[in-house]
Homo-oligomer: A and B are copies of this chain.
Protein backbone atom coordinates (compact mmCIF):
# COMPACT_ATOMS: atom_id res chain seq x y z
CA UNK A 1 0.00 0.00 0.00
CA UNK A 2 1.42 3.35 -1.05
CA UNK A 3 0.79 5.72 1.83
CA UNK A 4 1.35 9.37 2.46
CA UNK A 5 4.24 8.95 4.89
CA UNK A 6 7.26 8.11 2.67
CA UNK A 7 10.46 8.40 4.68
CA UNK A 8 12.14 11.75 4.32
CA UNK A 9 15.89 11.59 3.91
CA UNK A 10 16.48 15.18 4.93
CA UNK A 11 16.24 15.03 8.70
CA UNK A 12 18.48 12.16 9.67
CA UNK A 13 21.81 10.97 8.38
CA UNK A 14 21.83 9.83 4.76
CA UNK A 15 22.28 6.14 3.99
CA UNK A 16 23.14 3.95 1.01
CA UNK A 17 19.44 3.01 0.85
CA UNK A 18 18.44 6.68 0.53
CA UNK A 19 20.90 7.01 -2.34
CA UNK A 20 19.57 3.89 -4.06
CA UNK A 21 15.98 5.07 -3.61
CA UNK A 22 16.77 8.48 -5.05
CA UNK A 23 18.61 7.01 -8.02
CA UNK A 24 15.76 4.58 -8.76
CA UNK A 25 13.47 7.62 -8.93
CA UNK A 26 15.87 9.49 -11.19
CA UNK A 27 16.04 6.55 -13.62
CA UNK A 28 12.28 5.99 -13.55
CA UNK A 29 11.76 9.71 -14.18
CA UNK A 30 14.06 9.58 -17.22
CA UNK A 31 12.13 6.61 -18.62
CA UNK A 32 8.82 8.43 -18.06
CA UNK A 33 9.99 11.64 -19.69
CA UNK A 34 11.91 10.28 -22.66
CA UNK A 35 10.79 6.73 -23.50
CA UNK A 36 11.43 4.83 -25.61
CA UNK A 37 15.09 4.86 -24.67
CA UNK A 38 17.74 2.25 -23.95
CA UNK A 39 19.78 1.62 -20.82
CA UNK A 40 22.67 3.46 -22.48
CA UNK A 41 20.40 6.42 -23.25
CA UNK A 42 19.36 6.54 -19.59
CA UNK A 43 22.98 6.50 -18.45
CA UNK A 44 23.76 9.36 -20.81
CA UNK A 45 20.85 11.40 -19.54
CA UNK A 46 21.15 10.96 -15.79
CA UNK A 47 24.90 11.01 -15.35
CA UNK A 48 25.32 7.59 -13.74
CA UNK A 49 27.49 4.76 -15.05
CA UNK A 50 25.99 2.15 -17.39
CA UNK A 51 26.59 -0.52 -14.77
CA UNK A 52 24.76 1.47 -12.10
CA UNK A 53 21.88 2.22 -14.48
CA UNK A 54 21.59 -1.45 -15.46
CA UNK A 55 21.29 -2.52 -11.86
CA UNK A 56 18.67 0.15 -11.22
CA UNK A 57 16.72 -0.76 -14.36
CA UNK A 58 16.75 -4.43 -13.36
CA UNK A 59 15.23 -3.49 -10.03
CA UNK A 60 12.57 -1.30 -11.68
CA UNK A 61 11.67 -4.18 -14.02
CA UNK A 62 11.52 -6.53 -11.03
CA UNK A 63 9.15 -4.18 -9.26
CA UNK A 64 6.91 -4.05 -12.33
CA UNK A 65 7.42 -0.36 -13.03
CA UNK A 66 9.34 -0.64 -16.31
CA UNK A 67 9.19 -2.91 -19.33
CA UNK A 68 12.00 -3.63 -21.77
CA UNK A 69 11.16 -4.39 -25.39
CA UNK A 70 12.93 -6.92 -27.59
CA UNK A 71 14.45 -4.20 -29.78
CA UNK A 72 14.61 -0.43 -29.70
CA UNK A 73 11.80 1.51 -31.25
CA UNK A 74 13.80 4.73 -31.49
CA UNK A 75 15.10 4.28 -35.03
CA UNK A 76 18.26 6.17 -34.08
CA UNK A 77 21.63 5.23 -35.55
CA UNK A 78 24.27 3.37 -33.55
CA UNK A 79 24.25 0.15 -31.60
CA UNK A 80 20.61 -0.80 -31.01
CA UNK A 81 19.40 -0.90 -27.42
CA UNK A 82 16.22 -2.39 -26.09
CA UNK A 83 13.52 0.18 -25.49
CA UNK A 84 12.53 0.88 -21.91
CA UNK A 85 9.07 2.22 -21.12
CA UNK A 86 6.73 2.65 -18.17
CA UNK A 87 4.59 -0.38 -17.65
CA UNK A 88 0.94 -0.28 -18.72
CA UNK A 89 0.26 -3.28 -16.52
CA UNK A 90 0.84 -3.96 -12.86
CA UNK A 91 1.10 -0.85 -10.66
CA UNK A 92 -1.97 1.38 -10.64
CA UNK A 93 -3.71 4.07 -8.61
CA UNK A 94 -7.37 4.11 -7.62
CA UNK A 95 -9.15 7.45 -7.30
CA UNK A 96 -12.53 7.77 -5.65
CA UNK A 97 -14.81 10.78 -5.32
CA UNK A 98 -17.80 11.80 -3.25
CA UNK A 99 -19.57 14.85 -4.61
CA UNK A 100 -22.79 16.42 -3.40
CA UNK A 101 -24.56 14.86 -6.40
CA UNK A 102 -22.41 11.93 -7.51
CA UNK A 103 -19.88 9.19 -6.73
CA UNK A 104 -16.89 8.40 -8.92
CA UNK A 105 -14.09 5.88 -9.33
CA UNK A 106 -11.08 5.89 -11.64
CA UNK A 107 -8.03 3.65 -12.09
CA UNK A 108 -4.90 4.94 -13.81
CA UNK A 109 -1.85 2.94 -14.80
CA UNK A 110 1.75 4.02 -14.14
CA UNK A 111 1.76 5.99 -17.40
CA UNK A 112 -1.07 8.08 -15.98
CA UNK A 113 -3.63 6.73 -18.43
CA UNK A 114 -7.17 6.37 -17.07
CA UNK A 115 -8.12 2.70 -17.68
CA UNK A 116 -11.33 2.50 -15.63
CA UNK A 117 -13.77 5.39 -15.22
CA UNK A 118 -17.10 5.09 -13.38
CA UNK A 119 -19.54 7.77 -12.29
CA UNK A 120 -22.92 7.39 -10.62
CA UNK A 121 -25.41 10.18 -9.89
CA UNK A 122 -26.40 10.11 -6.21
CA UNK A 123 -27.85 12.72 -3.87
CA UNK A 124 -25.32 12.52 -1.03
CA UNK A 125 -26.12 15.64 1.01
CA UNK A 126 -27.48 14.85 4.46
CA UNK A 127 -27.27 11.06 4.13
CA UNK A 128 -25.46 9.12 6.87
CA UNK A 129 -21.74 8.97 6.12
CA UNK A 130 -21.69 5.19 6.59
CA UNK A 131 -24.34 4.70 3.93
CA UNK A 132 -22.49 6.86 1.39
CA UNK A 133 -19.14 5.23 2.19
CA UNK A 134 -20.59 1.72 1.77
CA UNK A 135 -21.70 2.70 -1.73
CA UNK A 136 -18.28 4.18 -2.53
CA UNK A 137 -16.67 0.97 -1.28
CA UNK A 138 -18.86 -1.10 -3.59
CA UNK A 139 -18.01 1.18 -6.51
CA UNK A 140 -14.31 0.89 -5.61
CA UNK A 141 -14.46 -2.89 -5.51
CA UNK A 142 -16.11 -2.98 -8.92
CA UNK A 143 -13.48 -0.64 -10.35
CA UNK A 144 -10.65 -2.73 -8.87
CA UNK A 145 -12.14 -5.88 -10.37
CA UNK A 146 -12.36 -4.22 -13.76
CA UNK A 147 -8.74 -3.06 -13.39
CA UNK A 148 -7.59 -6.55 -12.40
CA UNK A 149 -9.11 -7.91 -15.61
CA UNK A 150 -6.84 -5.44 -17.45
CA UNK A 151 -3.77 -6.75 -15.62
CA UNK A 152 -3.59 -3.83 -13.18
CA UNK A 153 -2.97 -4.04 -9.44
CA UNK A 154 -4.15 -1.12 -7.31
CA UNK A 155 -1.28 0.07 -5.09
CA UNK A 156 -2.95 3.04 -3.45
CA UNK A 157 -6.42 4.48 -2.90
CA UNK A 158 -7.32 8.15 -2.50
CA UNK A 159 -10.83 9.53 -1.90
CA UNK A 160 -11.67 13.09 -3.00
CA UNK A 161 -14.10 14.78 -0.61
CA UNK A 162 -15.66 18.25 -0.61
CA UNK A 163 -14.37 19.00 2.87
CA UNK A 164 -11.48 19.69 5.18
CA UNK A 165 -8.91 16.93 5.71
CA UNK A 166 -6.46 17.79 8.49
CA UNK A 167 -2.75 17.09 8.05
CA UNK A 168 -2.42 14.39 10.69
CA UNK A 169 -2.74 10.81 9.44
CA UNK A 170 -5.74 8.73 10.39
CA UNK A 171 -8.13 9.14 7.50
CA UNK A 172 -10.26 11.85 9.05
CA UNK A 173 -12.66 14.15 7.21
CA UNK A 174 -12.97 16.93 9.74
CA UNK A 175 -15.85 18.76 8.14
CA UNK A 176 -17.70 18.50 4.83
CA UNK A 177 -20.49 21.07 5.26
CA UNK A 178 -22.22 20.43 1.96
CA UNK A 179 -22.50 16.72 2.76
CA UNK A 180 -23.40 17.39 6.39
CA UNK A 181 -20.32 15.49 7.64
CA UNK A 182 -18.34 16.34 10.73
CA UNK A 183 -15.51 14.25 12.15
CA UNK A 184 -15.94 11.23 9.87
CA UNK A 185 -13.12 8.66 10.12
CA UNK A 186 -13.18 6.53 6.98
CA UNK A 187 -11.94 3.37 8.69
CA UNK A 188 -14.99 3.40 10.99
CA UNK A 189 -17.30 2.89 8.01
CA UNK A 190 -15.29 1.05 5.37
CA UNK A 191 -16.24 -2.62 4.98
CA UNK A 192 -12.70 -3.93 4.32
CA UNK A 193 -9.82 -2.81 6.54
CA UNK A 194 -7.33 -3.60 3.74
CA UNK A 195 -8.77 -1.16 1.23
CA UNK A 196 -9.62 1.94 3.28
CA UNK A 197 -8.77 4.96 1.11
CA UNK A 198 -6.94 8.06 2.26
CA UNK A 199 -9.16 11.16 2.10
CA UNK A 200 -8.04 14.39 0.45
CA UNK A 201 -9.76 17.67 -0.26
CA UNK A 202 -11.22 17.78 -3.79
CA UNK A 203 -9.82 21.25 -4.57
CA UNK A 204 -6.32 20.06 -3.69
CA UNK A 205 -6.66 17.05 -5.99
CA UNK A 206 -8.11 19.15 -8.79
CA UNK A 207 -5.13 21.48 -8.55
CA UNK A 208 -2.63 18.62 -8.69
CA UNK A 209 -4.40 17.01 -11.63
CA UNK A 210 -4.27 20.29 -13.52
CA UNK A 211 -0.58 20.64 -12.68
CA UNK A 212 0.26 17.11 -13.81
CA UNK A 213 -1.88 17.48 -16.94
CA UNK A 214 -0.64 20.88 -18.14
CA UNK A 215 2.11 20.89 -20.74
CA UNK A 216 4.06 23.81 -19.28
CA UNK A 217 2.49 24.34 -15.89
CA UNK A 218 3.26 27.20 -13.55
CA UNK A 219 5.22 25.73 -10.63
CA UNK A 220 3.61 27.99 -8.05
CA UNK A 221 -0.08 28.67 -8.58
CA UNK A 222 -3.45 29.09 -6.96
CA UNK A 223 -6.20 26.82 -8.27
CA UNK A 224 -9.67 28.13 -7.51
CA UNK A 225 -12.59 25.82 -7.80
CA UNK A 226 -16.25 25.87 -7.11
CA UNK A 227 -18.58 23.05 -6.42
CA UNK A 228 -21.32 23.95 -3.99
CA UNK A 229 -18.75 25.97 -2.02
CA UNK A 230 -15.72 27.96 -3.13
CA UNK A 231 -12.29 26.53 -2.45
CA UNK A 232 -8.74 26.98 -3.54
CA UNK A 233 -5.57 24.96 -3.51
CA UNK A 234 -2.02 26.26 -3.42
CA UNK A 235 0.71 24.50 -5.34
CA UNK A 236 4.15 25.76 -4.40
CA UNK A 237 7.20 24.65 -6.39
CA UNK A 238 5.19 21.79 -7.82
CA UNK A 239 3.94 20.51 -4.46
CA UNK A 240 0.60 20.88 -2.80
CA UNK A 241 0.77 23.25 0.13
CA UNK A 242 -1.79 22.15 2.74
CA UNK A 243 -1.06 24.72 5.44
CA UNK A 244 0.03 24.14 9.00
CA UNK A 245 -3.04 22.00 9.75
CA UNK A 246 -4.53 21.28 6.35
CA UNK A 247 -6.82 24.30 6.08
CA UNK A 248 -4.92 26.33 3.47
CA UNK A 249 -6.83 27.73 0.51
CA UNK A 250 -10.11 28.55 2.30
CA UNK A 251 -10.75 31.22 -0.33
CA UNK A 252 -14.53 31.22 0.09
CA UNK A 253 -14.38 33.19 3.31
CA UNK A 254 -11.94 35.91 2.36
CA UNK A 255 -13.60 39.21 3.28
CA UNK A 256 -14.07 40.87 -0.11
CA UNK A 257 -16.54 43.54 1.03
CA UNK A 258 -16.16 43.58 4.84
CA UNK A 259 -19.57 45.18 5.40
CA UNK A 260 -21.36 43.02 2.83
CA UNK A 261 -24.10 40.42 3.32
CA UNK A 262 -23.97 38.03 6.26
CA UNK A 263 -22.47 34.61 5.60
CA UNK A 264 -23.28 31.21 7.09
CA UNK A 265 -19.81 31.27 8.70
CA UNK A 266 -20.87 34.16 10.94
CA UNK A 267 -18.83 36.87 9.19
CA UNK A 268 -19.91 39.43 6.58
CA UNK A 269 -19.03 39.95 2.95
CA UNK A 270 -17.22 36.65 2.36
CA UNK A 271 -16.37 35.70 -1.23
CA UNK A 272 -18.95 32.89 -1.13
CA UNK A 273 -21.69 35.53 -0.80
CA UNK A 274 -20.75 36.74 -4.29
CA UNK A 275 -19.16 33.82 -6.11
CA UNK A 276 -20.71 30.76 -4.45
CA UNK A 277 -23.23 28.70 -6.41
CA UNK A 278 -26.21 29.72 -4.25
CA UNK A 279 -25.31 33.44 -4.43
CA UNK A 280 -24.91 33.37 -8.21
CA UNK A 281 -28.18 31.48 -8.71
CA UNK A 282 -29.94 34.00 -6.45
CA UNK A 283 -28.54 37.02 -8.26
CA UNK A 284 -29.43 35.44 -11.59
CA UNK A 285 -33.05 35.05 -10.42
CA UNK A 286 -32.68 31.27 -10.49
CA UNK A 287 -32.83 30.64 -6.76
CA UNK A 288 -35.89 28.40 -7.16
CA UNK A 289 -33.98 26.07 -9.43
CA UNK A 290 -34.28 22.54 -8.04
CA UNK A 291 -31.76 19.70 -7.93
CA UNK A 292 -29.81 19.17 -11.13
CA UNK A 293 -26.84 20.68 -12.85
CA UNK A 294 -26.90 24.34 -11.78
CA UNK A 295 -23.65 25.05 -13.60
CA UNK A 296 -25.03 23.81 -16.90
CA UNK A 297 -28.13 25.95 -16.35
CA UNK A 298 -26.05 29.08 -15.69
CA UNK A 299 -23.92 28.45 -18.77
CA UNK A 300 -27.05 27.93 -20.88
CA UNK A 301 -28.65 31.17 -19.66
CA UNK A 302 -25.45 33.14 -20.07
CA UNK A 303 -25.01 31.81 -23.60
CA UNK A 304 -28.57 32.94 -24.36
CA UNK A 305 -27.66 36.44 -23.16
CA UNK A 306 -29.97 36.39 -20.10
CA UNK A 307 -29.15 39.79 -18.45
CA UNK A 308 -29.56 38.81 -14.75
CA UNK A 309 -27.35 35.76 -15.27
CA UNK A 310 -24.68 37.83 -17.04
CA UNK A 311 -24.82 40.43 -14.22
CA UNK A 312 -24.59 37.71 -11.56
CA UNK A 313 -21.52 36.17 -13.21
CA UNK A 314 -19.88 39.57 -13.60
CA UNK A 315 -20.50 40.29 -9.90
CA UNK A 316 -19.02 36.89 -9.05
CA UNK A 317 -16.03 37.57 -11.28
CA UNK A 318 -15.36 40.95 -9.64
CA UNK A 319 -15.47 39.42 -6.17
CA UNK A 320 -13.18 36.59 -7.33
CA UNK A 321 -10.83 39.23 -8.71
CA UNK A 322 -10.67 40.94 -5.31
CA UNK A 323 -9.94 37.66 -3.52
CA UNK A 324 -7.35 36.70 -6.12
CA UNK A 325 -5.68 40.10 -5.76
CA UNK A 326 -5.07 39.17 -2.13
CA UNK A 327 -3.77 35.77 -3.20
CA UNK A 328 -1.39 37.27 -5.76
CA UNK A 329 -0.13 39.91 -3.31
CA UNK A 330 0.49 37.35 -0.59
CA UNK A 331 1.76 34.35 -2.51
CA UNK A 332 3.23 35.76 -5.74
CA UNK A 333 2.18 32.82 -7.89
CA UNK A 334 3.22 32.21 -11.51
CA UNK A 335 -0.36 31.45 -12.39
CA UNK A 336 -4.00 31.38 -11.35
CA UNK A 337 -6.25 28.57 -12.55
CA UNK A 338 -10.04 28.53 -12.54
CA UNK A 339 -11.10 24.93 -12.01
CA UNK A 340 -14.20 22.92 -11.24
CA UNK A 341 -17.44 24.69 -12.14
CA UNK A 342 -15.56 27.94 -12.71
CA UNK A 343 -13.82 26.33 -15.68
CA UNK A 344 -17.23 25.75 -17.29
CA UNK A 345 -18.24 29.36 -16.64
CA UNK A 346 -14.88 30.92 -17.46
CA UNK A 347 -16.11 32.80 -20.55
CA UNK A 348 -18.33 34.97 -18.39
CA UNK A 349 -16.19 35.17 -15.27
CA UNK A 350 -12.78 35.90 -16.75
CA UNK A 351 -13.34 39.47 -18.01
CA UNK A 352 -14.35 40.77 -14.58
CA UNK A 353 -11.63 38.81 -12.77
CA UNK A 354 -9.01 40.15 -15.18
CA UNK A 355 -10.28 43.73 -14.81
CA UNK A 356 -9.90 43.65 -11.01
CA UNK A 357 -6.44 42.12 -11.22
CA UNK A 358 -5.33 44.68 -13.80
CA UNK A 359 -6.58 47.56 -11.64
CA UNK A 360 -5.16 46.25 -8.36
CA UNK A 361 -1.98 44.29 -9.06
CA UNK A 362 0.10 47.23 -10.20
CA UNK A 363 3.41 47.03 -8.37
CA UNK A 364 4.63 43.83 -9.93
CA UNK A 365 4.53 42.41 -13.45
CA UNK A 366 1.24 40.58 -13.94
CA UNK A 367 0.34 39.09 -17.31
CA UNK A 368 -3.41 38.62 -17.96
CA UNK A 369 -2.71 35.18 -19.46
CA UNK A 370 -1.33 33.99 -16.13
CA UNK A 371 -5.01 33.48 -15.27
CA UNK A 372 -6.53 30.58 -17.21
CA UNK A 373 -9.31 28.01 -16.92
CA UNK A 374 -8.38 24.40 -16.20
CA UNK A 375 -8.69 22.05 -19.16
CA UNK A 376 -9.91 19.30 -16.81
CA UNK A 377 -12.83 21.22 -15.31
CA UNK A 378 -14.96 19.05 -13.07
CA UNK A 379 -13.03 15.85 -13.90
CA UNK A 380 -9.95 17.16 -12.08
CA UNK A 381 -10.46 15.89 -8.51
CA UNK A 382 -11.14 12.25 -9.46
CA UNK A 383 -8.21 12.16 -11.86
CA UNK A 384 -6.00 13.82 -9.25
CA UNK A 385 -7.01 11.20 -6.68
CA UNK A 386 -5.97 8.35 -8.99
CA UNK A 387 -2.74 10.04 -10.15
CA UNK A 388 -1.56 10.74 -6.60
CA UNK A 389 -0.54 7.11 -6.12
CA UNK A 390 1.29 7.05 -9.45
CA UNK A 391 3.21 10.19 -8.51
CA UNK A 392 4.22 8.68 -5.16
CA UNK A 393 5.56 5.60 -6.91
CA UNK A 394 7.49 7.75 -9.37
CA UNK A 395 9.07 9.62 -6.46
CA UNK A 396 9.94 6.42 -4.57
CA UNK A 397 9.79 3.21 -6.61
CA UNK A 398 10.69 1.16 -3.52
CA UNK A 399 7.06 1.63 -2.45
CA UNK A 400 6.30 -1.11 -4.98
CA UNK A 401 6.74 -4.71 -3.85
CA UNK A 402 10.10 -6.14 -4.96
CA UNK A 403 9.92 -8.65 -7.82
By a beta-carbon cutoff of 8 Å, the part of chain A in contact with chain B is: 9-10, 12-15, 18-19, 22-23, 26, 46-48, 164, 175, 218-220, 232, 234, 236, 241-251, 253-258, 265-267, 322-323, 325-327, 329-334, 359-360, 362-365
Give 12 CB contacts A-B under 8 Å. A12-B47, A13-B22, A13-B48, A14-B22, A15-B19, A19-B19, A248-B332, A254-B330, A255-B326, A267-B359, A326-B330, A327-B330
Residues of chain B within 8 A of A47, CB atoms compared = 12-13
A325 near B254: Cβ-Cβ < 8 Å: yes
B330 near A331: Cβ-Cβ < 8 Å: yes
Residues of chain B within 8 A of A327, CB atoms compared = 330
* C-alpha gap A322/B152 in the complex (Å): 51
A243 near B360: Cβ-Cβ < 8 Å: no
B251 near A329: Cβ-Cβ < 8 Å: yes
Give the shortest distance, in Å, between A66 (CB) and chain B (any CB).
Answer: 17
B48 near A247: Cβ-Cβ < 8 Å: no
Give the shortest distance, in Å, between A354 (CB) and chain B (any CB).
Answer: 15
Residues of chain B within 8 A of A14, CB atoms compared = 14, 18-19, 22-23
* C-alpha gap A267/B365 in the complex (Å): 15
* C-alpha gap A247/B365 in the complex (Å): 10
* C-alpha gap A241/B243 in the complex (Å): 13
Known: A243-B331, A250-B332. Contact between A255 and B325, CB under 8 A?
Answer: yes
In the A-B complex, list the 6 residue pairs whose CB atoms are closest, starting with the nearest: A243-B332, A248-B332, A247-B332, A244-B334, A14-B19, A220-B244
Known: A22-B14, A47-B13. Contact between A266 and B362, CB under 8 A?
Answer: yes
* C-alpha gap A388/B267 in the complex (Å): 40
* C-alpha gap A46/B15 in the complex (Å): 12
A364 near B46: Cβ-Cβ < 8 Å: no
A256 near B253: Cβ-Cβ < 8 Å: no
* C-alpha gap A23/B90 in the complex (Å): 37
* C-alpha gap A325/B247 in the complex (Å): 13
Closest Cβ neighbor of A22 among chain B residues: B14
A250 near B26: Cβ-Cβ < 8 Å: no
* C-alpha gap A323/B265 in the complex (Å): 18
B329 near A253: Cβ-Cβ < 8 Å: yes
Give the shortest distance, in Å, between A75 (CB) and chain B (any CB).
Answer: 28
B256 near A258: Cβ-Cβ < 8 Å: yes
A241 near B250: Cβ-Cβ < 8 Å: no
Closest Cβ neighbor of A360 among chain B residues: B267
A360 near B255: Cβ-Cβ < 8 Å: yes
Residues of chain B within 8 A of A329, CB atoms compared = 250-251, 253-254
Knowing that A12-B47, A250-B330, A330-B331 touch, tell me 16 more A-B residue pairs with CB under 8 angstroms: A13-B22, A13-B26, A13-B47, A13-B48, A14-B19, A19-B19, A164-B364, A175-B363, A234-B330, A236-B236, A244-B334, A253-B363, A255-B322, A256-B258, A266-B362, A331-B331
